[in-house]
Structures are given as structure tokens and as C-alpha cells.
Amino acid sequence: MGITVTSTIGILLWALALNGVFNALHVFLSSIIAIVLFRATAKRLPSLAEKSWFRLKAGEPLLWHIASKEHFKRESP
């Protein structure tokens, strides 16, 4: 039992096919891992910002300020 390949072109075609399958699985799994990590980081962003040593005036955390929509609405004094 097995795959019988009798020519060099057949070997190259099988190598390309297996490489394509591997790449498709790799992209799929890597994307899932990246999404999970991104969501976990986004959920922790407020708590990480509160622990930040660099804060804006009135004790406002920098990262929370940048992540909020208020960052883009403020007018200069």
C-alpha cells in the first residue's frame, strides 16, 4: 500500500500538493492562535493600563486613554 510515483514530475507534484496542505493547515491554526491571544490581550488592556507607571493628568491611565474613543474627541485647551 502506498503512492506509486514513477517520474520526477510526479514527485514534484506530490511535494507541491503536500506543501500546500501543510501551509493551509498552518495558516488556519496560526490564525486561530492569533485571534485567541489578541482577544485575551484586549480583555486585559484596562487592567494593564491601570498598573502602568506612566499616567496622564488627573490620574488617567495612558493606555486606557488611548484605547478609549475619548482620545479622539478631545479638543486642545
Q: Is residue 55 part of a domain?
A: yes
Q: Is residue 23 part of a domain?
A: yes
d(CA 10, CA 47): 56
State the residue range of the domain holding 44: 8-73
Q: Report pLDDT digits (tens) over 34-69.
A: 988 888 877 776 666 566 554 555 555 555 555 555
Q: Is residue 3 part of a domain?
A: no
Q: Is 61 exposed, middle or buried (0-12, 13-18, 19+ CB in 10 A)?
A: buried
Q: Is residue 47 part of a domain?
A: yes
Q: Is the pTM of this model over 0.85?
A: no
Give me the number of domains the chain comprises. 1
DSSP 1: -
d(CA 71, CA 65): 6
pLDDT score, position 16: 92
Rg (CA), the chain: 25
Q: Is residue 2 part of a domain?
A: no
In terms of residues, how long is the chain? 77
Q: Is residue 22 part of a domain?
A: yes
pLDDT score, position 77: 53
